[in-house]
Amino acid sequence: MDDKFILNGKSYNSRLIIGSGKYKDFGETKKVLEESGAEIITVAISRTNIGQEKDEENLLDVISPKQYEILPNTAGCFSAEESIRVALLARDLLSTNLIKLEVLKDKSTLLPNEKETLVAAKKLVSMDFSVMVYTTDNFELAIELQNAGCIAIMPLASPIGSGQGITKPENIKKIINNISVPIIVDAGIGISSDACIAMEMGCDAVLLNSSLAMANKPIMMAKAMKNAVIAGRSAFLAGRMEKSNKAIPTSKKDNFL
Amino acid sequence: MNKIKIKVNGEGISIGNNLTLSGLLLERELSENNIAIEINSEVIPKDLWTNKIIKEGDSIEIITAIGGG
């Protein structure tokens, strides 16, 4: 069955999006990406080290924009204004209109700043960006962000880097039921079953980073995540059986003979 | 030679008068690949770097992509 993930007019085989942060070195980053089967990779935008070696390897040499869809984020921004500035730099650097908008409330919780996120989303859409927006699990805000023209809604499963999994599945379900653009669970995935559950619920894709980078064996976990996302998607499409409060025999026979 | 004071990634430095952005990169031994530049919060497209003269007090940010989720 043909089941492509369509995002921003492009079609992808993988529904797993991988973050490129926190791996032990670029070699591990590369292997994790290969093992995960991911086609879309997030990167952050930061000042260069102006004292660096001229020939020092750069992340973009490892994850080539020719091989992967590079999705820049606005991580580390706490206002709409900052995030717009970063988005403009990212567009120039990577020649892409795609941006994962991330405007945070504070450094301790790393939760989205809902008001500033909406302001930035509207502005970026008006500047021809294709905005994928990191947001809370508030479905009313998700609707506003969709109406503002965002191409994907990315609710958190739980706080960034916490690995707690989907703490409020009913809220994610509410977003799924009310939103027509792709829904990508972003942040808080801890292990493969979390990713699988997100996909079984009907999310269109999953974005994760720390659950790989912080695993004992990141490359092996990348494989687990790949399989979990495929399994969850298949299960969603197959449709689960009705739950019953009593046992129902599997065999049609009433008696032993 | 006249020197002017500017900021690069928040660090105050002195450079020669009439230096271009490309000249600055050369002087600092920075590769032109995989970076974007803004002067005073305005992005300067790469094709303008060779002609863009840096002025006294300019605040330059040179950015690249790093690991992130």
Hey, is the C-beta of A216 within 8 angstroms of any chain B C-beta?
Answer: no
Residues B27-51 pLDDT 10s = 988 889 899 999 999 999 999 999 9
Report CB contact under 8 Å: B46, A92.
yes
Closest by Cα among A229, A234, A166 to A37 = A229
From first to last of the 257 residues of chain A, give the pLDDT tens digit: 689 999 999 999 999 999 999 999 999 999 999 999 999 999 999 998 776 666 678 999 999 888 999 999 999 999 999 999 999 999 999 999 999 999 999 999 999 999 999 999 999 999 999 999 999 999 999 999 999 999 999 999 999 999 999 999 999 999 999 999 999 999 999 999 999 999 999 999 999 999 999 999 999 999 999 999 999 999 999 999 999 999 988 888 777 76
Closest by Cα among A60, A112, A238 to B67 = A60
B14: phi then psi, degrees, rounded to nearest 5: -110, 135
Indicate if ipTM > 0.95: no
Q: Report in angstroms the alpha-carbon separations of A176 from A130, A169, A171, A231.
A: 20, 10, 9, 19
Q: What is the pLDDT of residue A16?
A: 98
DSSP-based three-state secondary structure for A240: coil
- List helix spans (H) across A148-185: 169-178
Beta bridge partners of A189: none
The catalytic residues of A are 100
Hey, is the C-beta of B68 within 8 angstroms of any chain A C-beta?
Answer: yes
Report CB contact under 8 Å: B8, A93.
no
Q: What is the pLDDT of residue B47?
A: 94
Q: What is the pLDDT of residue B2?
A: 83
Q: What is the pLDDT of residue A1?
A: 66
Hey, is the C-beta of A177 within 8 angstroms of any chain B C-beta?
Answer: no
**Cα B44 to the chain's mean position, in Å?**
9
> What are the contacts of A2-7 at 24+ separation with CB within 8 A?
A3/A233, A3/A237, A5/A182, A5/A204, A5/A205, A6/A182, A7/A40, A7/A132, A7/A151, A7/A152, A7/A182, A7/A205
Give the integer Cα–Cα distance in Å for B38 and B19: 16
